[in-house]
């Protein structure tokens, strides 16, 4: 037996009693195939192109009349005022415009992803019986909508990993890498093992709070402090209830107790534990920030690095050129 055949042996990927022969396709029945996931490569490239186009700032050039007027008011050459505006725009864009566009892009995706998964799993209740039922039916045929949803999620997280070096630097950069690697691994192995419905439940629980956080970031960048803090409190409640209550006590509990353990399920178990540790790591910061006055708790979640700020006046900034 070759190395490739040994790698894909059913004893590693399927629960005891199931083989790849049980998942043979017919004219009306289709099952997941690992090669299907190769479509995530062009999918990720399309998302990166869309993201770049979405994040591209649309800034108006300062009118010549305004430059001349400001130059006369500050007794400075027009060229120096124009240079100051160029420096000022370069200083502001990464902190506000680019980060607002990043938050908007993620909000659109997470919002669409959450409600799409909710619609696809409409007939699957989050009760204990339904989760265990979903886990026990490993040999269910693949529904086309679920397969495309999985490919979209995998493409999205691959695009996040590819664009991480070019995004606004965040203080939780290492945690993001760990989260994305764990998520991509879970999506890949759960698809190959036909645990798609369980994987969608896990993604549904996680996406329940993500789009709310991105909405709160957008409101923060727009300086709508009261609305921002209200949305952030909602995010904190949803985050704690979904990731620290529903996920460990219902979803993860039934995966461990109701599902037969084999090699792949142990791997899934390990990465689910990594995600849960990341949830616990984030929870104290969320709790402390949600209890702060308006605008005070956003230094952690704004992720902007402190830089030496220049004065807004061209005259005061003259010495920095």
Q: H-helix or E-strand containing 14?
A: none
The pLDDT profile of the chain, 321 residues, written as one tens digit per residue, is 578 778 887 788 887 777 788 777 777 788 888 888 889 999 889 988 877 766 665 444 445 556 666 666 766 676 776 676 666 555 545 567 777 888 888 899 999 999 988 888 875 444 444 444 444 556 678 888 888 999 999 999 998 888 887 776 667 778 888 888 999 999 999 898 888 888 888 999 988 999 999 999 999 988 888 999 999 999 999 999 999 999 988 888 878 887 777 888 888 999 999 989 888 887 655 545 444 444 454 444 444 444 444 444 433 333 323
Whole-number Å distance between alpha carbons of 148 and 171: 33
Going by C-beta distance under 8 Å and a sequence separation of 6 or more, which residues neighbour residue 309? none
Reduce the secondary structure of the chain to three states and give it as a string: CCHHHHHCCHHHHCCCCCCHHHHCCCCCCCCCCHHHHHHHHHHHHHHHHHHHHHHCCCCCCCCHHHHHHHHHHHCCCHHHHHHHHHHHHHHHHHHCHHHHHHHHHHHHHHHHHHHHHHHHCCCCCCCHHHHHHHHHCCCCCCCHHHHHHHHHHHHHHHHHHHHHHHCCCCCCHHHHHHHHHHHHHHHHHHHHCCCHHHHHHHHHHHHHHHHHHHHHHHHHHCCCHHHHHHHHHHHHHHHHHHHHHHHHHHHHHHHHHHCCCCHHHHHHHHHHHHHHHHHHHHHHHHHHHHCCCCCCCHHHHHCCCCCCCCCCCCCCCHHHC
Say what the pTM is: 0.72
Q: How many residues does the chain have?
A: 321
Domain residue limits, the chain: 59-95, 96-302
Assign 27 to helix, strand or coil: coil
């Amino acid at each position: 037996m070759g190395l490739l055949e040994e790698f894909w042996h059913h004893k590693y990927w399927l629960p005891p009693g199931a083989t790849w022969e049980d998942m043979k396709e017919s004219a009306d029945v289709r099952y997941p195939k690992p090669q299907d996931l190769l479509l995530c490569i062009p999918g990720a490239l399309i998302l990166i192109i869309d993201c770049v186009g979405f994040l591209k700032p649309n800034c108006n050039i300062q009118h010549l009349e305004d430059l001349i007027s400001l130059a006369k008011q500050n007794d400075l050459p027009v060229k120096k005022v124009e240079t100051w505006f160029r420096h000022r725009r370069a200083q502001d864009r990464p902190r506000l415009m680019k980060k607002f566009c990043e938050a908007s892009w993620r909000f659109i995706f997470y919002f669409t992803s959450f409600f799409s998964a909710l619609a696809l799993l409409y007939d699957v209740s989050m009760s204990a019986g339904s989760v265990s039922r979903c886990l026990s039916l490993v040999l269910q045929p693949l529904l086309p909508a679920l397969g495309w949803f999985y490919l979209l999620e995998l493409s999205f997280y691959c695009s996040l990993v590819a664009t991480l070096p070019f995004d606004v630097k965040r203080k939780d950069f290492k945690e993001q890498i760990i989260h994305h690697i764990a998520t991509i691994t879970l999506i890949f192995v759960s698809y190959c093992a036909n645990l798609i419905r369980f994987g969608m439940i896990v993604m549904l629980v996680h996406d329940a709070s993500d789009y709310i956080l991105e909405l709160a970031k957008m409101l923060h960048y727009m300086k709508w402090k009261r609305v921002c803090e209200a949305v952030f409190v909602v995010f904190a409640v949803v985050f704690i209830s979904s990731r620290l209550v529903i996920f460990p006590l219902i979803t993860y509990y039934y995966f461990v107790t109701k599902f037969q353990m084999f090699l792949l399920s142990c791997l899934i178990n390990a990465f689910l534990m990594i995600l849960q540790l990341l949830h616990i790591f984030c929870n104290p910061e969320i709790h402390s920030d949600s209890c702060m006055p308006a605008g005070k708790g956003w230094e952690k979640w704004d992720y902007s690095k402190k830089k030496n700020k220049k004065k807004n006046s061209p005259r005061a900034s003259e010495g920095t050129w």
